[in-house]
Amino acid sequence: MRIHEVRELGNDQLYEELEKSGRELMNLRFRAATNQLTDTNEPKAVKKTIARLQTVIHERQAQEAS
């Protein structure tokens, strides 16, 4: 998910995507631990998506506080 796609989401959708991505990352870690992971770049991409989501959430919280 690109940053411009993340910025278009509403607050509720951001939190839903963050939760979904967190679960996906946990699944990928379990699959990597059991050598069932075929694409080793997938966890990195999910971690970047989580970072993008958290960045937008924090930006919006800072705007509301100002």
Q: What does the alpha-carbon distance between residue 62 and residue 34 come to, in Å, rounded to a whole number?
A: 41
Each residue's pLDDT tens digit, 3-58: 999 999 999 999 999 999 999 999 999 999 999 999 999 999 999 999 999 999 99
DSSP letters along 46-60, please?
A: HHHHHHHHHHHHHHH
Each domain of the chain, given as residue ranges in start order, spans 3-65
Q: Is the model's pLDDT at 66 over the cut of 90?
A: no
Domain 3-65, architecture per CATH = Orthogonal Bundle (1.10)
pLDDT at 62: 96
What tokens does 43 get?
Answer: 């966890």
Residue pair 19/54 in contact (Cβ under 8 Å)? The answer is no
- What is the model's pLDDT at position 1? 85
